[in-house]
Amino acid sequence: MSTERVGGYPEVELPDDFSDATSWQRARDEETRVEPLTRAEWMVRVGDGDRHRVVFGTRSGQPVGECDCKGYAHHEWCAHLATVFLAYCRQEIVVADLEADPDEELAMLWRQYRQEGEA
């Protein structure tokens, strides 16, 4: 596993045993809250735990991200990141392409918004 931070954030790599991992089970089974802070930051709460700030987005279509909790610092994986990843897989959240020009992206989101408004 590379710890090199090309372009800022590490790629999200699922642990080999991720389906058995506690963090994954917690993300799936416990009540979770994912609130957007900025285009690439999310405030995440799992069960009755503390809220943590998760950076999550994509780079060239690859999910990238990190969390500020201790679990992530030790394992590069945690229930918070798993929660955002799960929401991303279920298309419950729209994540930003961290390589995209923010102005360009804003224009795209605006067009999306306008289209949805007219539908």
The residues of the shown chain that bind Zn ion, judged by CB under 5 A, are: 52, 67, 69, 72, 78, 80
* Spatial CB neighbours of 108, under 8 Å, sequence gap ≥ 6: none
Nearer to Zn ion by Cβ, of 21 and 67: the residue is 67
Q: How far apart are CA 110 and CA 16, in angstroms?
A: 39
Residue 42 beta carbon to Zn ion: minimum distance, rounded to whole angstroms: 11
The CB density around residue 64, as the number of other CB atoms within 10 Å, is: 24
Nearer to Zn ion by Cβ, of 80 and 98: the residue is 80
Q: How far apart are CA 1 and CA 10, in angstroms?
A: 10
Residue 110 beta carbon to Zn ion: minimum distance, rounded to whole angstroms: 32
Nearer to Zn ion by Cβ, of 26 and 80: the residue is 80
Phi first, then psi: what are they for 109, rounded to 5°? -65, -35
Residue in the structure block whose two tokens are 């392409």: 97
Nearer to Zn ion by Cβ, of 79 and 98: the residue is 79
Tell me the two tokens of residue 93.
């959240």
Residue 81 beta carbon to Zn ion: minimum distance, rounded to whole angstroms: 6
Residue 13 beta carbon to Zn ion: minimum distance, rounded to whole angstroms: 15
